[in-house]
């Protein structure tokens, strides 16, 4: 499933990717926590993931603080503050991250955490790239709203899951905002 859906999203052309990223903003702004949120963690897209950078611009325009994940040596994530003018550096997977000196915020103190995914279902299960970074980081964290960002074509009937997999509260795609708690 993972390789098939990764290929599907990588096959999207540049114009399709840009349109999807722009459409995503409208759906995310319908989140019940959007207006009251002060901080949100996004990610830098790779491998055909829907690009959240236009969303970051909209969030900054609304006065929200943006954080990006940084992979730690222990295999979890830290979330670092990111100003638009801050230079990013590639991590061991070639994904851009804030510098080592960037201010960190504990995940429990972030209002909304947006997660990348390979596949999702309406009950909030998500299939990631297989490293388990978000699951390890968020397994004992409560407080943030967890929102998967995806192309609508990444939806499947059922994502296989393990007891350690973290469920999403919402999935925002280029076509809709899905409340996964209503479907569970």
Q: Measured between alpha carbons, how far is 166 from 65 in angstroms, rounded to an integer?
A: 24
Q: What is the pLDDT of residue 60?
A: 96
Confidence class for position 184, pLDDT limits 50, 70, 90: low
Mean pLDDT of 167-174: 95
Report the percentage of the chain scoring pLDDT > 70. Answer: 97
Long-range pairs of 32-39 with CB within 8 A, sequence gap ≥ 24: 33/111, 33/112, 33/145, 34/112, 36/111, 37/64, 37/111, 37/112, 37/145, 38/63, 38/64, 38/65, 38/111, 39/64, 39/65, 39/66, 39/67, 39/105, 39/109, 39/110, 39/111, 39/112
Q: Pinpoint the alpha helices (H) of the chain.
A: 2-10, 14-28, 53-61, 133-138, 180-183
| pLDDT score recorded for residue 165 | 87
The domain 2-183 having CATH identifier 1.10.1040.10: the answer here is no
pLDDT tens track for 100-156: 899 999 999 999 999 999 899 999 999 877 788 999 999 989 889 999 999 888 889
In this predicted structure, what is the pLDDT of residue 15? 84
What pLDDT does 131 receive? 84
* Prediction pTM value: 0.92
Whether residue 73 is predicted with pLDDT greater than 90 in this model: the reply is: no
**pLDDT (0 to 100) of residue 84:** 86
Q: Give the span between the Cα atoms of 136 and 46, in whole angstroms.
A: 20
Residues linked to residue 155 through DSSP beta bridges, in sequence order:
120
Q: In the chain, where are the structural domains located?
A: 2-183
pLDDT at 10 over 90: no
pLDDT at residue 12 greater than cutoff 80: no
Average pLDDT, whole number, for the chain? 90
**Dihedral (CA of 151, 152, 153, 158) sign:** positive
pLDDT score for 8: 73
| In the predicted structure, residue 6 carries a pLDDT above the cut 80 | no
Q: 65: which 2 tokens? A: 């603080």
Least confident span in 6-15, 56-65, 128-137: 6-15
Question: C-alpha 6: how far from its chain's center?
Answer: 16
């Amino acid at each position: 499933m993972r390789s098939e859906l990764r290929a599907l999203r990588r096959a999207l052309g540049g114009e399709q990717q840009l349109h999807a990223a722009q459409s995503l903003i409208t759906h995310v702004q319908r989140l019940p926590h959007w207006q009251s949120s002060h901080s949100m963690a996004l990610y830098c897209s790779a491998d055909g993931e829907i690009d959240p950078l236009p969303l970051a611009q909209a969030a900054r325009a609304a006065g929200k603080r943006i954080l990006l994940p940084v992979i730690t040596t222990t295999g979890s994530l830290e979330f670092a503050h990111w100003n638009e003018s801050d230079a990013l550096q590639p991590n061991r997977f070639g994904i851009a991250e804030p510098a080592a000196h960037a201010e960190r915020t504990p995940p429990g103190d972030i209002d909304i955490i947006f997660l990348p995914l390979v596949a999702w279902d309406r009950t909030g299960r998500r299939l990631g790239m297989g490293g388990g970074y978000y699951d390890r980081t968020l397994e004992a964290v409560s407080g943030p709203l967890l929102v998967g960002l995806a192309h609508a074509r990444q939806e499947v009937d059922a994502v296989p899951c393990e007891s350690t997999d973290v469920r999403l509260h919402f999935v925002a795609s280029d076509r809709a905002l899905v409340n996964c708690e209503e479907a569970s």
